[in-house]
Amino acid sequence: MSEKLMLEENPQVSAKDLDIKLKKLESYIQKTQTRIKLHEKAIGKLQKALKEDLVRADEAVKAIKKIKVSV
Amino acid sequence: MNNSAQLEQGLKYLSSASLKQVQQKVAEAKQRLTQRPEPQVQEAGSRADSALRWTVKSENGQLKVEALANTSEFDVTSISTLEESTAEPAALKFAGYTIDLKAKISQYSESYAKNYMLTKSHNYMVAKFAELKTAFFGALLSAMGVEIDDIEKLRKKALKDAVRQNKVMLEENEYNSELLSIIGGSKKLMRRQQKIIKEIRRQLTLQAKQLGVEDQYTAESLLDVRIAQCSKILDKFNEEKFNLKYQLNCMGVN
């Protein structure tokens, strides 16, 4: 697409504008990647908490069984 | 004039002026505020399927390129958006004419399914009214000779559709939420948009509870949905970047 044709289609577009757009887009891409990492970290934390809960529940079950045996 | 001097002057004026004069001054100040020139905003080369809407703003004679989130959050609603047929069923014999109701079985079946979906709405009044209509269409279908098994099938299909629709709407809502968080904007606008998104999320979660699928909406699964939506946004951004680079290359060559 030639520049003339592009400008006819969209008179607002200029090389400077495109440069600004690209820079902004780069920052948005970085932000998105950060958000993905943030969510993954949150999932990791949740899974860790769940595992801890499971261990605690197992210990509780074992303790209850011991009490039953002693009774 | 500094702030304390302005305040002193204002207090002096208030002590000497009548209520009518003060009201007039306030009205003038309001008018001045509303007459401020609004910055001109123009669209600048945005694609319909892009996650961004580029705009050019002229502020103090300078052009400024800004990006806005291309969201559809105001189209999203937690109420079913399937087409509704509202034709009133006519009697079998009316004014000497016999009306063939059997030809309308498919139409009534659709209405039955649609209203059954609405019985699971988060809105209590909508749900109750839909229950009434479902009962009416169910009775009508039975009277027309539709088997109870077929009505049961319709109900199951409606439930399945409702669950699917709920999931799609939740994903769309999370997409909008993430996109707005990434692109941002003025604090006031962001707060307002996030409030709407939060409300839609609440309604959809409530609807999921009514549909009996609240187990699928755990904190972990919601985070999974968010990650998936972020990846979708990232793909769109990369696509936009590719397009912009292509345009820039074209300009550079010429």
Q: What is the pLDDT of residues B195-215, one digit of tens each?
A: 999 999 999 999 999 888 888
Q: What is the pTM of this model?
A: 0.64
Q: Which two tokens stand for residue B16?
A: 């000497």
Rounded to the nearest 10 degrees, how much is the dihedral formed by the CA atoms of A54, A58, A59, A65?
Answer: 160
Residue ranges in chain A whose pLDDT is less than 50: 1-5, 7
Other Cβ atoms less than 10 A from the Cβ of B4: the count is 8
Q: Using an 8 Å CB-CB cutoff, list residues of chain B that contact chain A.
A: 42-45, 52, 54, 56, 65, 67, 178, 181-183, 219-220, 223-224, 226-227, 230-231, 233-234, 237-238, 240-241, 244-245, 247-248, 250-252, 254
Looking at residue B15, its pLDDT comes to 64
Looking at residue B35, its pLDDT comes to 67
Q: Which two tokens stand for residue B53?
A: 């809407």
Residue in A2, A28, A47 closest to B182 by CB: A28
Per residue in A49-60, pLDDT (tens digit) is 999 999 999 999
Q: Considering just the CA atoms, what is the radius of gyration of chain B in Å?
A: 28
What band does B24 get if pLDDT is binned at 50, 70 and 90? Answer: confident
Interface predicted TM-score of the whole assembly (ipTM), two decimals? 0.71
Instruction: Tell whether A12 lies on the interface with B, counting CB pairs under 8 A.
Output: yes
